[in-house]
Amino acid sequence: MIYDYVIVGAGSAGCIVAERLSASGRYSVLLLEAGGPDTSLWFKVPIGYAKLYYDSAHNWMYYSEPEPELGGRSVYCPRGKVQGGSGSINAMIYVRGAARDFDDWAAAGNPGWSYREVLPYFRKLESHPLGDTEYHGADGPVRITSMKDDVHPICERFIEGCTQLGYPHNADFNGERLAGAGVYDINTRNGRRDSSSAAYLHRAGARPNLTIEHHAHATRLLFDARRRACGVEVTQGGVTRTFAARREVIVAAGAVDSPKLLQLSGIGPRAILARHGIDVLCDSPAVGRNLQDHLCVSFYYRARVKTLNDAFRSWTGKLKFAVQYLTKRNGPFSISVNQAGGFFATVAGQTDPRVQIYFNPLSYKIPKSSRSPLTPEPYSGFLVAFNACRPTSRGSIEIASARAEDVPLIRGNYLSTQEDRDEVVRGARLVRELMQAPALKAITEEEVTPAASVTDDASMLRYFREQSGSIYHLCGTCAMGPDPRNAVVDARLRVHGVTGLRVIDASIFPNITSANTNAPTMMVAEKGAAMVLEDAEADQASAASSDRAGVQAAAAISS
């Protein structure tokens, strides 16, 4: 089969690109997804996040290589293996990041990617409760919901405590500024997860010019003699199939699998390709480099008041919430487990937030395997987690072999810079400072963990090394930039060194954004799709102009 566009990956970005390219009906589009459809109830109910955390049927369940600065621990990196990708299994927090994040993208040699230039695409994708404003859209596909009416009451104590210490209350992290404390927005519609699959692809599924192939695992990209991408090879049901593209191949497989697919296809660092016997199509040293992520750690507290721990520890409490959800589409089952938080400077005089905090009215230990359910702590409790907004450590993604079925080598290289190690200490001090606010002291009986084991900077860093984990914001491994020596795609997301190939997903981030990465990934998809359509229009206009010129020349000759 031949299509105008073949897209690899139906994740947060791929679903949007497929819908936008097929919307006019002028182009045939094929969307390839290694996982299955997102039809299960667990993808719709927000609390399903806990169920999907270790679900190997819908989650790649990747782990990093042993991390030198984390005591040799491997870090868990869940990735969605289902239509909707990681946006179908994440905690749904919707935050764009700081304006500076995108201004830095533009400053790195990427015209068109400053905050003011990407803001229209954020507005385009969302339907926000504040309506059509300078910062928000009113009629986009993705419904944004504030959790303020459903959060647990102790979240208000957190916000009050922050304001008591002079930190501002921020009612809209996606508005004029990022800094301050408040309640997070989430992407839900009437109590259901509104992933890009639900918001975009479900409405486009019946289009005759859009084909979706599930359980189609891409093994390599295909190129013609001119190094133009012309198709994709996949394995599906044990059978090898190929799909051809007339116009472009678009890789949207995510920060782990997009660089992996490029390397398997001969686009990557020459030394890595040679090591695995892969013919070099394009020596691209940046493919798989520049991996960035947010690494966090949690502080656990015993509360003097009831928290979600009390309700979730009993079947009667869970049943009550289930009935509330089924009858009213609200309550704890309808929102994220991460409810309040904020963005804070850690050094006097800083103009941009350096640390993100999550205030969670449910305290639980992350399970170590799929056999261990996510269980609340056996007391009334809550947790406070933090991560650095803009870590400076850089890791990599590298194929483990020439076999597409082999898991790639993920090296986060976490805490490899002194700045990141210093930020860990500053973040810990901030948490301890916030917990001394009168509003929080009034509801807190004790710090359970790390408690007395952390008394100074050295022990805080040690605690972080031993207990930290990813917040699953991997990005940057096919970075955007003008120089092929340190970037993979140009400002129009076209892969350097070949033609007919783009990457449109979180892997193109030059630097990680200061907050959760799903919102900016969807923005990249909106802007990327617009670029593809603009270039198609330009190509057609150029072809029409050439045809007219040819007709005029022929007429002149004949006369």
According to the model, what pLDDT value does residue 309 have?
Answer: 94
Least confident of 184-198, 250-264, 492-506, 539-553: 539-553
In tens, the pLDDT along 352-397 reads 899 999 999 999 877 666 556 678 899 999 999 999 999 999 999 9
pLDDT for residue 19 is more than 90: yes
Q: Are 443 and 98 in contact (CB under 8 A)?
A: no
The answer for residues whose C-beta is within 8 angstroms of residue 195's C-beta and 6 or more apart is: 12, 15, 38, 43, 84, 87, 88, 187
Nearest Cα to Cα of residue 36 among 68, 11, 20, 58:
58
Q: How confident is the model at residue 238 (pLDDT cuts 50, 70, 90)?
A: very high
| 543 CB burial (10 A radius; 0-12, 13-18, 19+) | exposed
In tens, the pLDDT along 294-325 reads 999 999 999 999 999 998 888 888 899 999 99
Residues 425 and 529: their CA atoms lie apart, in Å, by 41
pLDDT for residue 10 is more than 80: yes
Average pLDDT over residues 342-350: 90
According to the model, what pLDDT value does residue 169 have?
Answer: 97
pLDDT for residue 440 is more than 90: yes
Q: Which of 128, 294, 473, 496 is catalytic?
A: 473
Average pLDDT over residues 416-441: 97
* Coil vs helix vs strand at 202: helix
Nearest Cα to Cα of residue 108 among 476, 504, 387, 523:
476
More confident residue, 236 or 350: 236
Cα torsion through 345, 346, 351, 354, rounded to 10:
-70
pLDDT for residue 62 is more than 90: yes
> Tokens in use for 375?
């269980």
> Tokens in use for 553?
């020349």
More confident residue, 385 or 552: 385
Q: How confident is the model at residue 1 (pLDDT cuts 50, 70, 90)?
A: confident
CA distances from 64 to 51, 133, 271, 335, 512 (A): 22, 42, 21, 29, 18
Q: How confident is the model at residue 559 (pLDDT cuts 50, 70, 90)?
A: very low
> HSE (CB half, 13 Å, CA atoms) of 524?
35
Place of tokens 């303020």: 148
pLDDT for residue 555 is more than 70: no
Average pLDDT over residues 433-446: 98
Residues 114 and 497: their CA atoms lie apart, in Å, by 25
According to the model, what pLDDT value does residue 49 have?
Answer: 85
Q: How confident is the model at residue 550 (pLDDT cuts 50, 70, 90)?
A: very low
According to the model, what pLDDT value does residue 199 have?
Answer: 97
Nearest Cα to Cα of residue 92 among 50, 120, 29:
50
In tens, the pLDDT along 77-105 reads 999 999 999 999 999 999 999 999 999 99
pLDDT for residue 548 is more than 60: no
**Residue 290 CA to chain centroid, in angstroms?**
16
Least confident of 120-124, 350-354, 405-409: 350-354
473 is catalytic: yes
Residues 528 and 393: their CA atoms lie apart, in Å, by 27
According to the model, what pLDDT value does residue 216 have?
Answer: 98
**Residue 208 CA to chain centroid, in angstroms?**
30
Q: How confident is the model at residue 189 (pLDDT cuts 50, 70, 90)?
A: very high
Q: Are 338 and 382 in contact (CB under 8 A)?
A: no
Q: Are 430 and 86 in contact (CB under 8 A)?
A: no
In tens, the pLDDT along 487-521 reads 999 999 999 999 999 999 999 999 999 999 999 99
**Is the peptide bond preceding residue 168 cis, with omega within 30 degrees of 0?**
no
